Copies of this chain bind each other. A is one copy, B any other.
Amino acid sequence: MTEPAPPRAERRRRTEQRVLDAARELFAERGFERTTIRAVAASAEVDPALVMQYFGNKRRLFAEAVRVAGPAGSAGSPEEAVEQLLATLGVKMRLPPASLAMLRSMLTHPEAAATARETLGRQVAQVGASLPGEDAPLRAALMTTILLGVTVGHQLLELDELREASPDALAAALRPALRALADPGA
Contact = CB atoms under 8 A, between A and B. Distances in A.
Interface of A: 30-34, 103-108, 113, 116-117, 120-121, 124, 135, 137-142, 144-150, 152-154, 156-162, 164-165, 169-170, 173-174, 176-181, 184
Interface of A is mostly: helix
A140 B164 CA distance: 13
A5 to B, nearest CB: 41
Contacts of A34: 33, 108
Given A31-B108, A138-B161, A145-B159, 10 more contacts: A31-B33, A32-B108, A34-B108, A107-B107, A141-B162, A144-B153, A146-B149, A146-B177, A176-B180, A177-B177
Contacts of A145: 149-150, 152-154, 159, 162
Contact of A152 (B30, B124, B148, B162): B148
The number of times this chain is found in the oligomer is 2
Contacts of A120: 153, 157, 159
A102 B110 CA distance: 17
A157 B105 CA distance: 12
Contacts of A174: 142, 181
A25 B180 CA distance: 37
A153 to B, nearest CB: 4
Contact of A107 (B31, B170, B176): B31
Given A34-B33, A157-B106, A161-B124, A173 B116 contact: no
